[in-house]
A and B are shown apart, each in its own frame.
Chain A
């Protein structure tokens, strides 16, 4: 027997899964990790569905942002050695999109998350700060550092992000 809550959850997932998947991919830069991230956030939402009184999407997205940073911290501990010695060299690619994808992969999760929220989710600095539990000035400085790093990593992205911050 399907309850109202379950039906509402199913409706939400059906309607928003594509958008959530896209954001998850931009946050992680990895298809499988993105899938796991969405799954974990939805699991958490299902667990506390009755207690979610605001927008379920805002809840799930917020869970994804925080979960991603938490995972990255754990992965960093486990994978640092491998990254240092075994990471494949970045093949030169003239395609702008691939360059952006690779450059994003070299940002810290906080920098990447801030950029996704600011330039993909189109949140203001204040909304980004609220979503991540940071101060507005931190969001501002993190954005500036992230863009500067993208310019350094991929100068060909200058047409996307401008010559300077």
Chain B
């Protein structure tokens, strides 16, 4: 069967003969050259598109402020960004602008040069349990950033269990961290003192603490011993009592009193060495009623930085920083001025006051720095269309190359 079929097919095929085009070779080689040229051109086009889009995306926008990279000398950021997922373990960041303890009792440092916020691992820093146990004791921040932003100080509050489930807390040392070298040292407590109510720095570089003094009558929750102020030289450990508690102004003539958390205030309370107790009444039209006012430091001998933490309400108002004039500056042009309006929720706050520029009296003076204007271009949402366009162009280019390859 197959033999006959083959014979018939052969006979059928033999009826058709023709000669191929003699130019087949030339046409074939020309087609090959053209295909190569097209492929090279397509690859070059794709590379050019990628490079061009990359340049457009990453190059500085001529209309926008030119990136300045890091801010030399540091600055207070106009907005504290969300903390990154990582934990900062190398403490040699140089300078911090703000240090705060977040809602989970985790210390956070804001880099003064970049404005970035980092959750930080600090040696012997009090645990969340320690913060919980001392809630009624604390009056200010335990995490104290020096005025120049180069050093941190905090008490090494530790929780002890006596074996029966009863817990107590104890502070054996203060710890001072040098943010330039990343190293830290232990500093002895002033004699006869324990866990501090609050910690800060004086203008001349000493650690300032408020501690409970010796009780003069039976101690109850409503009748606590008076607070006593101490300062400690972190280099030598020399300690001396201070005539004033709270945040003492440069010169030592006046201090802003640290209120207890339960105190509802509508004014910042001050204390003077002459035993007068003046107050700076806060303007009711700008000050959120029922807010906790926590003095943080002195920008000038008579201008205080305060942390205003509004009470929980239906209209969520974030904490903010404000400048408050002391009563020793009558007729001040800085009676109450908010300058950092959106702070993250925090247990306490501390600020490098030296990073706030010298006040000119101009109510529009910029006291903070917008780091987002100097952030890398890839964080700029305006560039998203360029990036998407670039991707589309890249996909089109690849499809073109693929088509050329198929045709070749």
Cross-chain pair count, CB within 8 angstroms? 87
Interface-located stretch among B15-23, B196-204, B228-236: B15-23
- The reply to whether the CB of A21 lies closer than 8 angstroms to some CB of chain B is yes
B51 interfacial contact with A, CB 8 Å:
no
Q: Which candidate, B5-13, B177-185, B213-221, B258-266, is the interface stretch facing chain A? A: B5-13
Are the C-beta atoms of B24 and A48 separated by less than 8 Å?
no
| Cβ–Cβ contact B6 & A97, under 8 A | no
Please report the C-alpha to C-alpha distance between residue A160 and residue B17 in the assembled complex, in whole angstroms: 24
Distance, CA A153 to CA B4, complexed state (A): 18
Contact A47 B31, beta carbon cutoff 8 Å: yes
Bound-state CA distance A98–B9 (Å) is 11
- Closest CB in chain B relative to A130 CB, distance in Å: 20
Residues of B within 8 A of A47 (CB): 28-29, 31-32, 35, 408
Number of contact residues on B: which range applies? 20 to 34
Query: With an 8 A cutoff between CB atoms, is A10 at the interface?
Result: yes
Q: Are B25 and A10 in contact (CB under 8 A)?
A: yes
**At the interface, yes or no: B27 with Cβ under 8 Å from chain A?**
yes
Whether a CB of chain A sits under 8 angstroms from the CB of B1 is: yes
**CB atoms of A119 and B9 under 8 A apart:** yes
- Which chain B residue has the least Cβ–Cβ distance from A40? B24
The main secondary structure of chain B at its interface with chain A is helix
Name B379-408 residues within 8 Å CB distance of A: 408
- With contacts A25-B13, A43-B31 known, is A119 near B18, CB below 8 A? no
Given contacts A21-B16, A38-B20, contact A100 B8 (CB under 8 A): yes
Interface size class on chain A is 35 or more
When C-beta atoms are compared, the residue in chain B nearest to A17 turns out to be B20
Which B residues are in CB contact (< 8 Å) with A20?
20
The smallest beta-carbon distance between B33 and chain A, in angstroms, is: 9
CB <8 Å contact, B6 and A119: yes
Apart from A21-B16, A42-B28, A97-B8, list 19 A-B contacts with CB within 8 A.
A9-B25, A13-B20, A20-B20, A21-B18, A22-B16, A25-B12, A25-B13, A35-B20, A38-B20, A43-B28, A44-B28, A46-B24, A46-B28, A48-B32, A97-B12, A119-B6, A119-B9, A122-B6, A160-B5
